[in-house]
Amino acid sequence: MRPLAELATEVLTTADGREKTALSRRHAAAWFEARDLGEMPVVGTARPPLRPARPARPELLDPRDVPRRKPGSETGRIALLHAVAHIELNAVDLHWDIIARFGHVPMPPGFYDDWVKAADEESKHFNLVSDCLEELGSHYGALPAHAGMWRAAEDTAGDLMGRLAVVPMVLEARGLDVTPGMIEIFKTAKVDHAVAALNTIYAEEVGHVAYGSKWFHFLCGRENKDPKEVFHDLVRHYFHGALKPPFNEEKRAEAGLPPDFYWPLAEEPPIRKG
Ligand SMILES: [Fe+2]
Ligand SMILES: [Fe+2]
């Protein structure tokens, strides 16, 4: 197979969502086929675009200009799923980008296994949520979406530890906090296919946060640095604003994120019981 960083760049430069995820899944399958045979394909280096290719639709708006809709209506639920599809498509690119952009940093094979698996799962998530939208008579691209979803990637384009701190350990961990509430919305509305899709996403996202925490700790250990302090410094440097409680402490713990990592960065102090 061609070097992994090259395959990653090919995904990043594919604009259409369904095409991007199909290519992403094909490349992931080729990678794991080789790995299952005991091979370690070349990772290599690449020159990924600063921003991934995006389809002509959805229109990308400043978050303040994206209309807010109440999830109690079908229109609101479609808007919510549309926002999730947009997040998943960005996540596909984020995982391939970490492979393409940091090929010059020597990492063990498991690092690539983890992010190829995560990218493959995000591709599946995008397809699942796009299927849900289509069953509801809509599609990805039908509504405006947030611009600025790529900002964290651009800000950390030169800093692998910063990338791990902000993307999997802050942004994807936030997904663990908010997904149970979304599942409830679709359960109440009896939209079973969306409940199933969100349950799959919820289960697999724990792994993505865990990969982030694992490789962040690995790099801190290699450089003899205190992970908690480095994490606080990097999030304060690259992430704009405080973290928002309530946190899903149980799933965060499962993913290797202890409370003393995120509570000091929260906008309000923890509520102590007893
Ligand atoms: Fe996802
Ligand atoms: Fe993810």
CATH number of the domain that residue 231 is part of: 1.20.1260
Position 272 in a domain: no
- Model pLDDT, residue 63: 83
- Model pLDDT, residue 21: 98
**273 C-alpha vs ligand 2 centroid, how far in Å?**
31
- Model pLDDT, residue 68: 81
**182 C-alpha vs ligand 1 centroid, how far in Å?**
14
- Model pLDDT, residue 71: 79
- Model pLDDT, residue 267: 84
**b/e burial code for range 211-223 (CB count within 10 A of at least 16 → b):** bbbbbbbbbbeee
Position 116 in a domain: yes
Position 273 in a domain: no
**Which tokens is 110 given?**
């498991």
Position 231 in a domain: yes
**Residue 272 CB: number of other CB atoms within 10 A?**
5
* Strand, helix or coil for residue 139: coil
- Model pLDDT, residue 269: 66
Q: Return averaged pLDDT per consecutive 10 residues of the chain, 274 residues in all.
A: 97 98 98 97 95 96 85 93 97 98 96 98 98 98 93 96 98 98 97 98 98 98 98 96 96 98 87 57
**81 C-alpha vs ligand 1 centroid, how far in Å?**
12
**208 C-alpha vs ligand 1 centroid, how far in Å?**
8
Q: Which ligand is nearest to the CA of 124?
A: 1
**166 C-alpha vs ligand 2 centroid, how far in Å?**
13
Q: What is the mean pLDDT of the chain?
A: 95
Instruction: Give the chain's domain count.
Output: 1
**44 C-alpha vs ligand 1 centroid, how far in Å?**
26
Q: Which ligand is nearest to the CA of 206?
A: 2
- Model pLDDT, residue 270: 65
Q: Which domain holds residue 135?
A: 4-265
What are the strands, taking DSSP E only, across 16-139? 60-61
- Model pLDDT, residue 237: 97
The whole-angstrom distance between residue 36's C-alpha and the CA centroid of its chain comes to 25
- Model pLDDT, residue 271: 65
Please, is 39 exposed, middle or buried when counting C-beta atoms within 10 Å of its C-beta (0-12, 13-18, 19+)? exposed
**65 C-alpha vs ligand 1 centroid, how far in Å?**
24
Position 47 in a domain: yes
Position 155 in a domain: yes
**274 C-alpha vs ligand 2 centroid, how far in Å?**
35
- Model pLDDT, residue 240: 86
Please give the helix or strand (H or E) that residue 268 lies within, else none.
none
Q: Which ligand is nearest to the CA of 118?
A: 2
Position 105 in a domain: yes
Please give the helix or strand (H or E) that residue 112 lies within, else none.
helix 109-135
- Quick one: which of 87, 239, 261 has its CA closest to 175? 87
**43 C-alpha vs ligand 2 centroid, how far in Å?**
22
Q: What is the C-alpha separation between 203 and 176, in angstroms, rounded?
A: 9
Please give the helix or strand (H or E) that residue 265 lies within, else none.
none
Position 271 in a domain: no
Listed as own residue / partner, the contacts of 260-267 with beta carbons closer than 8 Å and 24 or more positions apart are 260/228, 261/169, 261/228, 261/231, 261/232, 262/170, 262/173, 264/232, 265/232, 265/235, 265/236, 265/239, 266/242, 267/241, 267/242, 267/243
Q: Which ligand is nearest to the CA of 200?
A: 1
Q: What is the C-alpha separation between 267 and 171, in angstroms, rounded?
A: 16
Q: Which ligand is nearest to the CA of 95?
A: 2
- Quick one: which of 239, 240, 245 has its CA closest to 259? 245
**272 C-alpha vs ligand 2 centroid, how far in Å?**
30
- Residues whose Cβ atom is located within 5 A of ion ligand 2: 91, 172, 205, 208
